[in-house]
Structure 1
């Protein structure tokens, strides 16, 4: 009899607790949203404005009789440029002629005193000039990082100017 009373009391307590718990519940849904906007990032940089993407460094040279070739490297670290754009997003990458250009010819300069002609290309064979408009590189995003290499060449047969550091700045624009 004691056992029956104990079971009966335990059952009553559980029933009261269950009804008390369900009486104090409130349920609802939480929506989780994510909007993916169209766009691209280069080397992980997606900021608007002017960014430093990389460098084409021809190194130290003492003679310009032959072609001198170089490839782009990522700014601030080893490796090449990487461009990530939304899957199926059509975009174009263009390069202007640089701040020292003359009549469409790219040139590095030693402070405006001397110049050395060079060119930038889309391909390793250095046969497709990389520029603006019809010379821009048309691509389609994959959603993953895509290697983006700029192939540079100092044009052969130029007179070798005075020693010093020669620089130019070329603006890269990614448009979609």
Structure 2
């Protein structure tokens, strides 16, 4: 009988050692998690939208007029239709914004078109319309980490027109803006 008791004790001991019990003690482990962000030099454009692969940085809407016998002014407005487009560049960069001739450039003037009729217009980098942005010209921007308005103003001049009473219609153009740093 001693043999059964010894065998039974040995079996119970093996089960007790190999089976976790509700009497295990609680513990605590401490570890570390690395956290990182890399801020690279660069620029971003604010108050814009994108459609597919095209970034839309705003628009100039000159309004509705019966003729072009007077100077007509406008400025770039962002995608919300009320505020300007902004550029923010990290400090230490030398950013520039280059503007091409648009889709309908003629004789170094940008032009809006409806059918075959064109309305030439000019772009400026200041609100006094004294610094014209030539076709493929650029404007320097500030790089100090704060958002700044993109300074683009449009003007339709009667002297640039072949007719100050063009056909009625909606005249459009698209200028490609390239931000470099």
Q: Which runs of 4+ in 1 moved over 2 A?
A: 24-31, 44-50
Does the CA-based 8 Å contact 2:47-2:79 persist in structure 1? no
Give the RMSD, CA atoms, in angstroms: 2.3
When Rg is computed on C-alpha atoms for both structures, the one with the higher figure is 2
Deviations 1:75-107 (A, max 9, x none): 243211111111222211011110001131111
What residue ranges of structure 1 are gaps of 5+ in the alignment? 1-19
Matched, 1:155 2:123: no
Question: Which segment drifts farther, 43-52 or 68-77?
Answer: 43-52
* Aligned counterparts, 1:75-90, within 5 A: 75-90=79-94
- Secondary structure of 1:74's counterpart equals coil
Which whole-Å CA distance do the structure 1 matches of 2:152 and 2:47 have between them?
18
- The normalised TM-score by structure 2 is 0.75
Deviations 1:95-151 (A, max 9, x none): 11100011311111003x101110001011112122466x31112322121111311
What residue ranges of structure 2 are gaps of 5+ in the alignment? 1-24
- The normalised TM-score by structure 1 is 0.77
Which whole-Å CA distance do the structure 1 matches of 2:135 and 2:154 have between them?
16
Once the 2 structures are TM-superposed, how far is the Cα of residue 46 of structure 1 from its aligned partner? 9.5
Q: Which residue of 2 aligns with 1:120?
A: 123
